[in-house]
Structure 1
Amino acid sequence: MSDYPEIAARFTRGTAGHEMAVLFDQGLYRHLRFASPDGSGYRFDLHTSPNRLMFSGEVGIYVFSVWPTVDLFKVFSESSVGDQPNFGYWTEKLAAWSEPAIQFSNDRFDAQIAHELAEGENDWPGVTDAWTAKSSGFLAEYSFETEQAARFAACDFSFQADDTESWEPAFKFSDCARWVLDDYDWRYLWACHAALYGIGQYNAATVTEVGQAAQHFDKVPDPLDGCHWCACGNRWPCKDAGAVAA
């Protein structure tokens, strides 16, 4: 079961009609595209080269690198947690990204605030309403667009009911400077699901092709050196294809 079931479900819905297109496949150099024929859903590509895998799509770009293992399809397949991505381990292998994999989470902040307020209501009735008045609506005093702003709001807030004595302690959020407020960004989680899904589709297609006669035709040129390859894996023109013009 996924640690982030809502993202897993979102990925499944968004790729329900996807088909795989192998744009290049020569050893460790691969370019796979996954898209719906009608153009709906989230299209994405997987590129591999020795020690690297790159995801690119509508949710962003993420590049993974592992040494000394050269085939990251193998790394991702073997390190997955059942049929789910291994988010923690794969995050350690990130080499580049369009958006950070881990970012400030408003959901985590809201959950922490709700927990503190629920406990605080026992000794400071009305504290939840006081926080709501300062944190929401047209006259809100606080902003929560960044982690810094959210922490400031939590650390700055205090509450004391009008009918309490001045010597009685006011409500303050406890140790708010130490709250853990970051979490995986949904785009990164989606990309990890896409990578594992794409690798599974590729591996299944590869197994299906075992035992079938090799086909001979000129494939897409290698993007690194411009050389042409036959679909069977030989250099083009292929020695096994007979007398075929290049």
Structure 2
Amino acid sequence: MSVNDPYDELMQHLREARERFASDREGATMTVLKDDGVYRHLTFSFPKASWSWCEVVTWPHMLVLRGDLGCWSFSRVEDMFDFFREPEDARPDGPAYWAEKLVPGGRDSAKAYAAERAAAHVLQTVAGAERPGLSHDVEEVFFGDADLSTENGLREAVARFDERFPHYAIDENFRFPVDTWDLHRYSPWFLLACVVLPWAIGQYDTALVPAN
């Protein structure tokens, strides 16, 4: 197992979010509660989705998407609908760029610890070390009783490994460089929000077009 390229991983998960929303949005409805320049309040219901609703609220330099998929607040330009109206092919890495505009917290607030990335880093480090017996000892500690579902669990496993097998660090100068690992990726809910927002704005724009 190797650690995926962050961009490739982002694109893969974004495709998954788009595929999910393609079915989630069936039968969706929009209600416009306020529409006064850049002051807007839209609500959406999704009767066929596992999450049932969200709302989009804007005022100068702010947009908030809130509902069953979390609460995400963005700040960049006066009319934040314009910010999300860019064609998809104009900014394929949209979520990574949009995450920089999250307030508070910025990009970090859109990411979550990923156990799969932690396991991949462990295995990749072992593969590059080429030390006799290392793979067996790592398997015993990290993939036996250890709980890698949290970052604390990963660090506890590293500490337990160093305690049980000190000769790797003492005699062979081998350690797991956890602090240099990228253990986080964009959360599925944030990526879903990044799919929902352009669609929601498209629904709003379509509703403004006269029927004739």
TM-score range, shorter chain: 0.7 to 0.9
Once the two structures are overlaid, the 10-residue window that deviates more, 195-204 or 3-12, is 3-12
The equivalent of 2:96 in structure 1 is 88
Q: 1:112 aligns with which of 117, 121, 124?
A: 121
1:7 to 4, 13, 17: 17
Query: For residues 116-127 of structure 1, what are the structure 2 equivalents within 5 Å?
Result: 116-120=125-129, 122-124=130-132, 127=134
Q: Do 1:85 and 1:196's aligned partners in 2 also have CA atoms closer than 8 Å?
A: no
Deviations 1:201-239 (A, max 9, x none): 222332x327x5xxxxxxxxxxxxxxxxxxxxxxxxxxx
1:135 corresponds to: 142
* Residue equivalent to 1:201: 203
Q: Determine which of 68, 75, 78 is the counterpart of 2:83.
A: 75
* Alignment length (residue pairs): 196
Mind listing any 5+ residue stretches in structure 2 that lack a counterpart? 1-7
- SS, match of residue 86 in structure 2: helix
CA distance in 2, matches of 1:202, 1:173: 54
Residue 151 of structure 1 contacts residue 177 of structure 1 at CA under 8 Å; is this kept in 2? no
In the alignment, does 2:55 pair up with 1:45?
yes
Q: Which one is further off, 169-178 or 194-203?
A: 169-178
Tell me the SS of whatever aligns to 2:85: helix
In structure 2, relative to structure 1, the CA distance for the partners of 1:103 and 1:41 (3 Å cut) is: closer
CA spacing shift, 1:111–1:62, aligned 2, 3 Å: same
The answer for unaligned runs of 5 or more in structure 1 is 213-246
Instruction: Specify whether residues 33 and 83 from structure 1 end up closer, same or farther in structure 2 by C-alpha distance, changes over 3 A only.
Output: farther
TM-score scaled by length of structure 2: 0.74
How far apart, in 1, do the equivalents of 2:48 and 2:23 lie?
14
Output the amino acid matched with 1:75.
F
SS at 2:132 equivalent: coil
Alignment check: 8 A CA contact 2:27 2:48 kept: no
2:192 to 190, 193, 204: 190
Higher relative contact order (Cα pairs below 8 Å, separated by 6+ residues): 2
Distance 2:91 2:203 in 1: 13
Counterpart for residue 144 of structure 1: 148
Deviations 1:170-215 (A, max 9, x none): 6945433311212212211111111121112222332x327x5xxx
* Equivalent in 14, 27, 51 of residue 37 of structure 2: 27
Q: Percent identity?
A: 26
The RMSD of aligned alpha carbons is 3.3
Summarize the Cα distance change of 1:173–1:7 in structure 2 as closer, same or farther, 3 Å threshold.
farther
Residue 56 of structure 1: CA displacement?
A: 0.7
Distance 2:74 2:179 in 1: 32
Identify which of 103, 107, 123 aligns with 2:112.
Answer: 103
Question: Which segments of structure 1 move beyond 3 Å, counting only runs of 4 or more?
Answer: 38-41, 79-85, 117-120, 127-130, 168-174
Q: 1:58 to 1:85 in 2, by over 3 A?
A: farther
What's the counterpart of residue 153 of structure 1?
157
CA distance in 2, matches of 1:194, 1:54: 12
- Residue 63 in structure 1 maps to residue 73 in structure 2: yes
